Amino acid sequence: MLTKRIIPCLDVMDGRVVKGVHFVNLKDAGDPVETGALYSREEADELLFLDITATVEGRKTTAKVVEKTAEEVFIPFTVGGGINGIEDIILLLRSGADKVSINTAAVKDPFLIRNASQKFGSQCIVVAIDAKKKMRDKWEVYIDGGRTPTGVDVIEWAKKAESMGAGEIVLTSMDADGTKQGYDIDLTRLVSESVNIPVIASGGAGKLEHFYEVFTDGRADAALAASIFHYGEYRIREVKDYLLTKGIKMRV
Amino acid sequence: MAIAIIDYKMGNLRSVANALERVGAEIIITSDKKEIYDAESVVLPGVGAFSQAMENLNRLDIIPAIYEFIDSGRPFLGICLGFQLLFTKSEEGSTSRGLEVFKGEVKRFGDKVKVPHMGWNEIKPKRDLVLFSNISFPCFVYFAHSYYVEPEDRGIVAAITDYGGDFVSAIQKENILGMQFHPEKSGEKGLEILRNFFNLI
């Protein structure tokens, strides 16, 4: 049986990890390669680098970081943030990323998903969706790093992304993100039941129970978390061991 | 003399090369017939569409070199799409013929499960093979695919994996090995499997 995945997310800016990673056994917590390798040793199932650099120069730096990471880290890793078109995707995949995650550019031009998935295969095209709750069972898609509402319904967009060839969805609840009060279970479940591709839940992880909830009630295929790992509140292995005792299938 | 990774413009080969280098192999990435034929062992990786892959192999005129290499008895490994290409034909796209090294069809997962089959799943060995030396079980490896192979000769099956039912996740017949998963992305155990392949030289 396929296991559920635990995916730490690293914010990278100009080739450095920002939002501190607090581990005693890291020489350089700002180095994405070293941090990625550490998470890999701790049995993370995958890594996500979110590039928050805005400049062209910064993006070239990111490509170099991706290249170094691919040499050192032998688990899948996804790179997202600021991908505007097919050229950006080519650069990152050639540098060694296994997948790219597209957000704003995909909403503005859904055919980018189609072009990219036909060219590289669905398995490496991830669509990231930032969702904000509007009313009961209704969420709206936001773009530009959560700054711009689009009027697009999240469920409809998820289905559209799948039909265009997305291989996976990273679903971030803007309401839950940063609260540590748990993932948005309703949102995750509704999206997961609406599409037939894997859904990675994101935003809100603060306690071990939150992972359990999102995998069971939320029907998520994978769970993304950042700060609870970076600040050493939980080790990845702790999360996995807890989930195993609760009967969730994990790779250990 | 080295391991040749066949470059036929189907996706990133760097990660396969990185992983093989990590276990001590010398690597060349090539689409040159002679370099392929002269290698100590050959890896056919690849992600993307089956028919496109066959078209590229044809255009680059490397199919005869693949057959000759396989016939020479030296170790040959197909990974993911490169594994599927060893079979007769695929449902993917228009019905496309494969390399037909083995008889069998490449089929799409049904609607009962999420497609692609993406993530870590368990391989269960069917036989005691060198490929799995020093591997502790249960062994989880990384998959990312929408199609799976159905070999006619069940005797070549090396491992199976359960995803809405068992499918063939690895094969071995003499010098020919195939893996549906990505050993280069399967952490320490994946590296160990690649080390076992490297040690076949």
Report pLDDT for B1. 63
Which pLDDT band, with edges at 50, 70 and 90, does A22 fall under?
Answer: low
B-chain CB neighbours of A97 within 8 Å are 12
Range of the domain at B96: 2-198
Locate B176 and state its tokens: 């020919």
Report pLDDT for B105. 95
Beta bridge partners of B148: B107
Q: How many structural domains does chain B have?
A: 1
Residues 52-71 of A with CB under 8 A from B: 67, 70-71
Locate B147 and state its tokens: 């199609």
- Tell me the pLDDT tens digit for each residue of A152-185: 999 999 999 999 999 999 999 999 998 999 999 9
- Torsion sign, CA atoms A101, A199, A230, A250: negative
- Tell me the pLDDT tens digit for each residue of B122-171: 999 998 888 899 999 999 999 999 999 999 999 999 999 999 999 999 99
Distance CA(B117)–CA(A41), nearest Å, equals: 24
Distance CA(A172)–CA(B147), nearest Å, equals: 29
Closest of B141, B133, B135 to residue B169, by C-alpha: B141
> Which is the catalytic residue, given B92, B105, B184, B192?
B184
CATH of the domain at B98: 3.40.50.880
Which pLDDT band, with edges at 50, 70 and 90, does A14 fall under?
Answer: confident
Asked if A178 reaches chain B (Cβ–Cβ under 8 Å), the answer is no
User: Residue A222: CA atoms inside 13 Å, Cβ hemisphere, count?
Assistant: 29
User: Could you say which of A3, A45, A196 has the minimum Cβ distance to residue B115?
Assistant: A196
Closest chain B C-alpha to A247 CA, distance in angstroms: 16
A-chain CB neighbours of B46 within 8 Å are none
What does pTM read for this prediction?
0.94
Locate B33 and state its tokens: 């017939």
- Tell me the pLDDT tens digit for each residue of B11-22: 778 899 999 999
The ipTM estimated for the assembled molecules is 0.92
Beta carbons within 8 Å of B174's beta carbon, 6+ residues apart:
B73
Tell me what the mean pLDDT of segment A69-87 comes to.
93
Within a 10 A sphere around the Cβ of B74, how many other Cβ atoms?
15
Beta bridge partners of B173: B176
Largest pairwise CA distance in chain A: 47
